[in-house]
Structure 1
């Protein structure tokens, strides 16, 4: 479940009645930019790692894919308005401790849809979190939480996509002052790719940022070790590449549950939006330690921040729009100016729904059905000319075992 790993998958049935929406004061929502952690500046820590490890960029990973996905020739599961998509290989379909959550594409990264800028690669990214207790048993099934991973999907050949997982890490120093990195044990419910930067939501704290120009190659052995080992080598839980955090935005205003994130290229300037998950329609701020000044309205919200395309960071730390929407189980969000799209889930056996509402409007209406266990969203404009879609689509990802599809539906539900 995208934004609430602490809540069981089963829940109340989605209401068939339209959700109510209202505009609220955006100024209460703010972030603080952070360039360091307790070990030092992110840039200095990463530079230190670069003296120890081979540094690569995302284009290297896209070219070094090692797993094959299955192309979907028709709509998966319960979804409608299908355009394209794929399913993970058998191992990733059935593994119970890695759970897919976020999705974004190179059509988010650059307006023409390809990566890098001026390049030709068509890429889909997905995030996964490690679940130590996938069966919701009294004790954990897996003792070691391996944190978060990111999947690079080479989509240049739509009929035969290939992919590779990398580990997301935070650069640190050891007790003896050596450069190292740690796993990031968070949820990664939503991701957004903008230029060379990847934004990842941190449920209670805000946004983590990763620079896709800076990854490190590490040995594949030692599958239960992350960072600098006693043998003097660096490992990433058996993954070939690790991607270190480069920046952060910490929530500084009214509490906000950072469940999902989406890019809006239709707004001026470009902007990002964040949505909140709630099981019952009221957001609970008592389940974790939230950054900020205190709780506001418990109605789920969509909050917008402007972006600066010159450096791909936030243009302002204060939100420019905030709307409430009485919709439970929001797992994903994307916006196009004042029009907002939501992915609403309904547990492990009932289809999800793509819903939409307009800022200042009174209701959210259904666009089309999504897969069971629908999660994050990513808007893919038909203006992304280097992809073959004749109309705008919205990408979605499913989380449940053997229902793990990554696919795009027509934005108008047709």
Structure 2
């Protein structure tokens, strides 16, 4: 069990902030300031409107389902036991490129303002892969207050198989993987892939997750990820145990038990889900306005009491539906580490929810400053057109303010190009995000890839300072 002494956390937090400030990258590549003519007023999400109706709040209710320990242990035993995050870090096999090594198109995908103080590009094989799409990020800053998991600083990034790419083999469709990144040395980060899987009820086999990981939060020893509306088991969230990583023994495209052992689509490690949450009212339909939410982005709010999971809906820019934001409390029970607060029947209720006027939300964050009665909500907005930076908004009950990169209120397209989820690292004061694309010149998936994928961090203080 981790030691959680307050003195140790504060001392390490001060040291870490000093180290990070001293090694901040000077990013010189930035996109040209977007002109006012490119602004689209309809992207303004407006002020938050609280959802107070009991009937409407009931739409967000979840039901928890935990896998039996005996079935999980059976699977682990048959695969040779479990390993932890440190084992994966000891065997990283890919290297993040620092800013100076990024391609011009990658650097141009970074935020215009506020500028990133850290930025990294992926290994060459992943930066141009059109088979996979990076969509979510969480860190050991979410996992524990001191920003470490054990002795390590770690970043996790969730990638989803690109099922829109033509001629992909059926065995690859819907797969999801997590990059486990060694962030102990921020000037030389390495990573390794772990495949997310779902075990059978009896623990005799497993299948691929078959869902988009558009949202992901690492809290205590659990990793919560979003499930797609098309999930075969009709789940909304899956839960993984960071202490239950297991080794594959056969290198093949298959997923699951095969002749001679266990396969993970060519990856060396898998994580089997240990629990899941489904919407009590049934599976969401993103094409229907039936009030059943479709999970988009996730993040952790440590400034709430208790700590909470915040979520957003994600509809394409210009869609008829408008996105809602909501939160669930995490459990404080000692035998429910990393799980949401549930009643004796396993039901999890949203503790608050808001409606917005937004579409195209790709990232959500909630943070309450000391002394404030209410939290501010941050959302990233992705425009519908190609080659345009997104917008980062801060919302409260009174209005919405955008991070600007020009002298007027229309120069708001300043955030990363096709940026995805948001994650706040409390010990460093930084908001982490990542961009997604490596499409071709036609914004499709047939021609040579144009790399635009970056993992970056921006101080929250810089974000708030740029809001107007």
> TM-score w.r.t. structure 1 length?
0.82
Structure 2: how far apart are the matches of 1:100 and 1:149?
Answer: 9
Q: Check conservation: 1:132, 1:144, Cα contact below 8 A.
A: no
| Cα offset, 1:299, TM superposition | 2.4
2:389 matched to 1:351? yes
Change beyond 3 A, Cα 1:14–1:272: farther
State the SS of the aligned residue for 2:49: strand
Q: How does 1:165-204 map to 2 (within 5 A)?
A: 165-172=193-200, 179-204=204-229
Q: How does 1:78-117 map to 2 (within 5 A)?
A: 78-79=110-111, 80=113, 81-115=115-149
Q: Check conservation: 2:158, 2:213, Cα contact below 8 A.
A: yes
| Pick aligned residue for 1:72 from 85, 99, 115 | 99
2:331 matched to 1:308? yes
CA offsets per residue over residues 192-230 of structure 1, 9 Å max, x none? 0101100101133421100010011112521x111111x
Q: How does 1:13-412 map to 2 (within 5 A)?
A: 14-15=40-41, 18-20=44-46, 21-25=48-52, 27-28=57-58, 29-36=60-67, 41=68, 43-54=69-80, 55-72=82-99, 77-79=109-111, 80=113, 81-115=115-149, 119-134=150-165, 140-146=167-173, 147-172=175-200, 179-204=204-229, 205-219=235-249, 221-222=251-252, 224-229=253-258, 231-253=259-281, 254-280=291-317, 282=319, 298-309=321-332, 310=334, 311-316=337-342, 317-337=348-368, 338-346=375-383, 347-358=385-396, 360-366=397-403, 369-381=414-426, 384=427, 389=428, 392-401=429-438, 402-412=451-461
Extract unaligned runs of 5+ from structure 2: 1-37, 230-234, 282-290, 343-347, 369-374, 406-413, 439-450
The worse-fitting range, judged by mean Cα deviation, of 254-263 and 365-374 is: 365-374
State the SS of the aligned residue for 2:147: coil
| Cα offset, 1:98, TM superposition | 0.9
Q: How many residues are aligned here?
A: 363
> Over aligned residue pairs, what C-alpha RMSD do you find?
2.2
Extract unaligned runs of 5+ from structure 1: 1-11, 284-297
The worse-fitting range, judged by mean Cα deviation, of 64-73 and 366-375 is: 366-375
In proportion to residue count, which structure has more helix?
A: 2
> TM-score w.r.t. structure 2 length?
0.73
Structure 2: how far apart are the matches of 1:133 and 1:17?
Answer: 26
Structure 2: how far apart are the matches of 1:108 and 1:326?
Answer: 29
State the SS of the aligned residue for 1:372: coil
